[in-house]
Structures are given as C-alpha cells and as structure tokens.
Structure 1
C-alpha cells in the first residue's frame, strides 16, 4: 500500500502500481459513447495513460488540457485520460473543451483498473476515486515510465514521461579529421 498526500494530509492508495520494465495489466474501460475499450485496442501503438481523480477536478482538467496540447509530440501514441467519471461527464468535457487528440475513458465497468494499476484510494471520504498518476507503455505494452504523483492535486512530470516515449535522437556522424 502506498501513501500520497491530499493538501499535505496522508491518504492510502491500494493495488499494485506498475514499475518500469513490467508488462502492463490488461484493462477494460469505457469511452464517452459507453463503448468498452480494452488495452488491446491500442496494441502496436505507444500509450500515455494519465489517471486523474475526476475530469471535473481542477487537476484532472488541467492534465487533460496539457496532454491535448502535447499529443502531437508523440508519433504512433494513444493518449488516454482515465477517471471514475460517467461517460456523460466525459462527453460533456470533450464537447466543451474540443478535445480531438486525447481519449477520455472511465472505469464504469472496469473497476479492477483501480487495483491493477495501484491507484485505488482506500481512505474515506475519497475511497472510490483514483490517485493522480502518469504511465507510459511501449508498443508491446511494457511500462517505460510510471509516476504515482505524491500530491493528489498536483500534475505529473510530463517532461520525464515524454523522454521515455520519444525515440532517441539519431547517432551523430563522427567528424572527419582535416
């Protein structure tokens, strides 16, 4: 069990948070159209998965907006924002915000996601919500970046996640001697 903070107060988070090098656990989430969305839908693409307590929480919307702005940086990458919200809340947010590059998903029928990804808040009154996290997977669903954000209302380190997803620069040609 991990501990994070809510405005400086410790809260418990249960489940197994993934570590770099592990295979990602499969999941079944729901999109804004109430359609089931499995992890396997994105196989062969890299995945950047942001977990937020709610898309209606300030931190959730801030993270979604930031990822929408960053999405073009990542070639062949699905950018997902996962919350406990209803598909109706996701649809409303997509319409109001005009999100086109990220996909909002919820745990309506995928409550195992909470424990399988180690983001299950167990302390009342927040039990049932998820901790803020950012997880990056390669094309084979292997974890290449994983951050359980220490403070529930804080943003993750987007730059570190981007570095884990972006391909390395091509090697430099050796300079010819004169």
Structure 2
C-alpha cells in the first residue's frame, strides 16, 4: 500500500492501488454537466489521468492547467483530470480558468475511481495527488502517487511516459 501525507500528516489510503504494468481499471465519474462518463481503458487512445484533491487549490490549479495544455499540444492523447470536487465547483473553476474544454471529472458521488485506484484519503474524503499514463491497449505504463499531497507531481516524467505510450 502506498502511503501519503497531507501537510505532513499521515493519510490512510483506501481502495486498490494501481501499479505500472497492470491493466487500468475502468471507472465511472461525473462530468461538470452531471452526465456520467465511463473510462474504458482499451479505447485505443493513450490517456493521462491527472488526479487532484481539489481544483480550488493553487497546486491543483497549476497541475490541471499545465497538464491540460501539454496534452492538448501532443494531439494524439487525451487527459482526464479527476477530483472529488462537486461537479458544480469544477464547472465554475473551468469557466474561471478559461478551460471549458478541459476533461475534468468528479468522483464525489461514489468514489468509484478513487476506490479502484487506491487514492481515497479516508480522513478527508478527497483523492490523493497522482498521475497515471494508460496506453492505447489499456495498460498502465506510468504511475506516480505523490508522497506529500501538497507537492507537485513530476510533470516531465509523466509527459515523457505519455509520449512513449
């Protein structure tokens, strides 16, 4: 089991941790318009899954902007940003950030993603910060669960992994 801290306080992660080399689990989340969106790992498209505790915080805001812009420039991949924020908060953030076309999804309703990827911080009912790269065949080719949730992930490694997927 991966361990993380939030502002140096240990957090209990619930769910099944996902490791590099294994098949990515499918999951269902909500889009900002409250429609269900299901991730199908064998979609034929390589995908970067960016996980943030809340888009309303500075590190999460920076992570979401940076990775959305980088993946958009690649052109041959998609990005899913997942948080436990309410869909209404995500929609407001996307409008304020001028990222209305961002693929940002809420795991608030039933924590399907967080449980399947082992990222639910029990003490806060938020998701731990992480990045996953899933290749076109649905295999996880890169995974990083950031040890200190208030820190940034390794953007360069994640984007290099996406380019190679």
TM-score by length of 1: 0.85
1:161 to 153, 158, 161: 158
Secondary structure, aligned partner of 1:166: helix
Question: Does the Cα contact within 8 Å between 1:32 and 1:104 map onto a contact in 2?
Answer: yes
* Change over 3 Å in CA distance of 1:166–1:100 after alignment to 2: farther
- Give the superposed CA RMSD: 1.9
Alignment of 1:1-178 (within 5 A): 1-40=1-40, 43-99=43-99, 102-123=102-123, 126=124, 128-167=125-164
Question: Does the Cα contact within 8 Å between 2:111 and 2:120 map onto a contact in 1?
Answer: no
In structure 1, distance between residues paired with 2:20 and 2:133:
9
Q: How many residues align?
A: 165
In structure 2, distance between residues paired with 1:121 and 1:108:
13
**Aligned-pair CA distance for 1:69:** 2.4
In structure 2, distance between residues paired with 1:167 and 1:117:
22
Q: Which moved more, 1:68-77 or 1:138-147?
A: 68-77
In structure 2, distance between residues paired with 1:118 and 1:82:
13
**Aligned-pair CA distance for 1:146:** 0.4
**Aligned-pair CA distance for 1:110:** 4.2
Alignment gaps of 5+ in structure 1: 169-178
Higher relative contact order (CA 8 A, sep 6+): 2
**Aligned-pair CA distance for 1:112:** 2.1
Alignment gaps of 5+ in structure 2: none
In structure 2, distance between residues paired with 1:6 and 1:54:
13
Question: Does the Cα contact within 8 Å between 1:15 and 1:115 map onto a contact in 2?
Answer: yes
Specify the alignment match of 1:172 in structure 2: none
